[in-house]
Amino acid sequence: MAGTKERIMAAGAELFRRNGYSGTGLKQIVTEANAPFGSLYHFFPGGKEQLGSEVIRTSGLAYIQLFDLFIAPAPDLISGVEAFFAAGIATLEATDYVEGCPIATVALEVAATNEPLRQATAEVFTAWIDAGTERFAKFGIGTEAARTLTITAVNNLEGAFVLCRALRDTEAMAVAGAATVDVARRLLQETPQL
């Protein structure tokens, strides 16, 4: 069984993803974590803001594994991008459009009002861009092109999650995936052949 701190962080991550940062109360978190209220301040003396920053960094960095699950093992660049967006569709359908990206949810909410949380989301997005750039570059498109493709994929994925959740339909994710594939194809064509 996970320790109290880990349960609090897991509950915080889940509730922030579903309800956003502002829509999640500390009592909800400790209730969901089956933890005494005082334990929250024991592990997170900075309260909700400290918990939020740690949850963002921890859960956000875990999402880097998606590049390893879908991009790294792909036989080619296009298949990897297609698998990445297909996984987004599967997640939306499996969770009845409840789950999206916990980092984007919090980033949209706090970017202009909470500097520590903005910094935490910026660190996560930077780590995603670095990881995606590394994985995509292995397909021979070069670092600059791989970075462009990663930023395109993250932009399209995050925007599609917002639309899909609001519309309760996966069309936007399918369109985002196709648009990202188009960018990948263009970058492959622009890459000098050895």
pLDDT digits (tens, 9 = 90+) for 158-169: 999 999 999 999
Residue range 4-59, CATH number: 1.10.10.60
Residue 79 is predicted with a pLDDT of 96
Per the CB < 8 A criterion, the answer to whether 152 and 187 are in contact is no
Place of tokens 């949850």: 55
pLDDT tens for each residue of 7-39: 999 999 889 888 888 999 999 999 999 999 999
List own/partner pairs for 23-31 with CB under 8 A and 24 or more apart. Answer: none
Per the CB < 8 A criterion, the answer to whether 113 and 186 are in contact is no
58, with CB counted inside 10 A (0-12, 13-18, 19+), is middle
Structure tokens at 9: 């962080």
Which three-class secondary structure state does DSSP give residue 121?
helix
| DSSP calls for 85-99 | HHHHHHHHHHTTT--
**C-alpha closest to that of 10 among 33, 34, 43, 42:** 33
Per the CB < 8 A criterion, the answer to whether 74 and 142 are in contact is no
Residue 193 is predicted with a pLDDT of 67
Structural domain boundaries in the chain: 4-59, 63-190
Residue 157 is predicted with a pLDDT of 94
Residue 134 is predicted with a pLDDT of 95
Residue 194 is predicted with a pLDDT of 55
Residue 78 is predicted with a pLDDT of 96
Residue 20 is predicted with a pLDDT of 84
Residue 1 is predicted with a pLDDT of 56
Residue 194 DSSP code: -
Residue range 63-190, CATH number: 1.10.357.10
Q: Which residues of the chain have pLDDT under 50?
A: none
pTM, entire model: 0.88
**C-alpha closest to that of 47 among 62, 25, 32, 31:** 25
**C-alpha closest to that of 26 among 4, 3, 49, 6:** 49
**C-alpha closest to that of 156 among 144, 173, 131, 143:** 173
